[in-house]
Amino acid sequence: TLLDVVAGLTEYEGHVFFDGKSVDREPPQDRKIGYLFQDLVLFPHLDVASNIAYPLKAQGWSAQKIKRRVDELLDLVRIRPLFNRYPAHLSGGEKQRVALARALAPSPNILLLDEPLSSLDLQTSRYLRFELKALHQMLGMTSLYVTHELTEAEEIADKIAVVYDGRIEQFGSPREVFFYPSNEKVASFIGSPNILECEKSRTLGHGLVEVSCGRLTFIAPQEGNSVRRIAILPKDIYISPFPPPGPGVNRFAARILKIKMLPESVRLTVKADRKPLVAEIPHHIFETFDLKIGQKVFLIFKLKKIKTYSDAFYPRVAKIEGAQGKEDAHAFSL
């Protein structure tokens, strides 16, 4: 709904400003907005080039100018070999690129994206996530990106707005929102990460770093030259009563200290070293393993979910017990 308000596609109360100027009286076609809809809405009877050209024809561009702009966009989103294909013969990722090119065709001042990756498989979604970020940085265009996936917002956004029931609960950088939840609603959506102090780190190459935090040694994605702290969300720690197979990377023995039942998961406080850690697992996993206080378990940390930080940034996290309501949250990325 918020995107439709910004685009002028629905009636609303209040005011919409672009660069300090009210656009309340301007119709959608005059707001200079590109809109990438969730369901893409490609015209099945038009090929790729014609789909991209459609808004330009509607605005009365000349044929020569349209061809030049379509050629630019085919190269920009890397779909030139597909220019004469029809939507029925495109993959999900290819359709997404065509829809993006069409949204960018009139050179809008603002790009609106409504959960653009929600219908794609994980691998394609992850790849396009980085492409969208690079494209945004290259074009220097203001973008408003709606998603329910925190990972998408964190990787793409310069700023994040967490919205509940039409109200902005928090607005800030990904790190600010992630580590400084403003209230219980935001914390329930973001989750409160485990923070570990680390004594030393060693670069391994291939974008990885070995980090020693007390008696625990982690392999993590490298972000910067030195690592003094790492953070990981409770939901990104696997727990098993059995020793996990395979190499022992980011796997540690621990003992359960506390068990707390939540509506959507079970929160376990465990101790693997000097500081207790919090993990959250689904109810069916908890029941299958029949976990008990005092039981020995094994922790598995997802490598790609570990965040590393230097002294330049010190995360501080609000402690939230039993917060609920994740399904009502949206992250708006800018």
User: CA separation (Å) from 59 to 10, 53, 173, 298?
Assistant: 21, 10, 37, 62
According to CATH, what is the number of the domain 193-311? 2.40.50.100
**Token reading at 233:** 């969300």
Stretch(es) of the chain classified as CATH 3.40.50.300: 2-147
Walk along the chain (334 residues) and give the pLDDT tens digit of each residue. Answer: 889 999 999 999 999 999 899 999 999 989 999 999 888 789 999 999 999 999 999 999 999 999 999 999 999 999 999 999 999 999 989 999 999 999 999 999 999 999 988 888 777 887 888 888 888 888 888 999 998 877 788 788 899 999 988 889 999 988 788 777 788 778 777 767 788 888 888 888 888 889 999 889 999 888 766 788 888 888 889 999 998 887 778 999 999 999 999 877 899 999 998 789 999 999 999 999 999 999 999 999 988 888 887 754 544 443 433 333 344 455 555 5
Return the residue matching tokens 């299958």.
288
d(CA 12, CA 166): 12
Q: Looking at residue 294, what is its pLDDT?
A: 95
* Under 8 Å between Cβ of 253 and 271: no
List pLDDT tens digits, range 77-131: 999 999 999 999 999 899 999 999 999 999 999 999 999 888 887 778 878 888 8
Residue 240 and residue 296 in contact, taking contact as beta carbons nearer than 8 Å:
no
Question: What integer pLDDT is reported at residue 224 of this predicted model?
Answer: 66
Q: Tally the residues of the chain.
A: 334
Give the pLDDT confidence score for residue 130 in this predicted structure: 84
Tokens 């939840």 correspond to what residue?
A: 181
**Token representation of residue 96:** 């997404």
pTM above 0.95, yes or no: no
Q: Directed axis angle between helix 92-104 and helix 122-139, to 10°? A: 20
Specify the pLDDT at position 172.
93
User: Cβ(193)–Cβ(317) under 8 Å?
Assistant: yes
pLDDT (0 to 100) of residue 333: 53
Which residues in the chain are classed under CATH 2.40.50.100? 193-311
Task: In whole angstroms, give the CA distance from residue 307 to residue 230.
Answer: 5
Q: For residues 146 and 141, give the distance between their C-alpha atoms in angstroms, rounded to a whole number.
A: 16
Could you confirm whether domain 2-147 is CATH 3.30.230.10?
Answer: no
